[in-house]
Amino acid sequence: MLAALAWQVELGAVDAIGEAPVDRFEVKPEPKAAPAAAAKPAPHAPVVVPEVDVVAEARAMSAAAGSLEALAAAQEAFPHCELKRGARNFVFADGRPEARVMVIGEGPGAEEDAQGKPFVGRSGQLLDRMFAAIGLARDAEDAAAALYITNVVPWRPPQNRDPEPEELAMMRPFVERHIELAAPELIVLMGNPACGSLLGKRGITRLRGNWHEFAGVPVMPMFHPSFLLRRAEMKRHAWADLLTVKARLETP
């Protein structure tokens, strides 16, 4: 029983969502309704499937948002991302939008999905400690010492898989507008999916430690904290990258 439970947790089934257990062997399938005669299409009528350009729709919805609140509402209402159907909560951002540094991660995990806030699980705690080491915190009173944190997808991917390229593509207009509205001085991208979405490049080992650019804003890619939790020997690279960010913030 314990092994079966551990297996389900491993698969990502971390929450019981019903009050009472359901014996699926006893559940009878619902009888299929007979198709209504009136609903039958005419024998040669063409089936018209409306084509939706989901990226264009995301672009239009995000461009129409004139504030971060409007952007959050537009993104949450966006109906075409499959991730939305499996998530408990929409996760938009945390920290201070006026911060000089915007941190962009991959997507919510189980804890973020439960709380509706980015980076609040184990990797988020490490992220907080990393930035605290260079004097930055999401809840800092002084905007100059604050962080603003978001992700490239706002809904938790099932079993914490990487977001698919199509999911990244349809969410990218929202992230672009998010950056435009928050107008940070620097962006830190955490891990490969964030770099793939915004820089169109992967290979974090090569990308990290060097400055890149997105829409005129300097971008520092870094190892994702969840990778650092598994590979503690890589933390020295993250420390070097944090010092590079700090030096740039201190340069007039």
Please tell me whether residue 157 binds ligand URA under the rule CB under 6 A: no
Binding residue for ligand URA, selected from 95, 118, 154, 221, defined by CB under 6 A: 118
Both tokens assigned to 65:
């948002």
Please tell me whether residue 167 binds ligand URA under the rule CB under 6 A: no
CB of 87 to ligand URA, least distance (A): 12
150, 93 contact by CB (below 8 A): yes
Please tell me whether residue 75 binds ligand URA under the rule CB under 6 A: no
User: Residues 119-148 vs ligand URA: string with x where CB under 6 A?
Assistant: x-x-xx------------------------
CB of 37 to ligand URA, least distance (A): 51
| Residue 68 identity | L
Query: Which residues are CB-neighbours of 176 under 8 A, at least 6 positions away?
Result: 62, 215
137, 145 contact by CB (below 8 A): yes
User: Given the rule CB under 6 A, which of 33-41, 106-114, 171-179, 180-188 is the region that contacts ligand URA?
Assistant: 106-114
Please tell me whether residue 163 binds ligand URA under the rule CB under 6 A: no
CA 148 distance to own-chain centroid: 14
Please tell me whether residue 197 binds ligand URA under the rule CB under 6 A: no
- Report helix, strand or coil for 101: strand
- Report helix, strand or coil for 188: strand
Residue count, binding to ligand URA (CB under 6 A)? 14
Beta strands in 91-200 (DSSP E): 94-95, 101-105, 147-151, 186-190
CB of 204 to ligand URA, least distance (A): 12
Both tokens assigned to 224:
């994702």
Q: Which residues in this chain contact ligand URA in the complex, by CB under 6 A? A: 105-109, 112, 118-119, 121, 123-124, 151, 190, 226
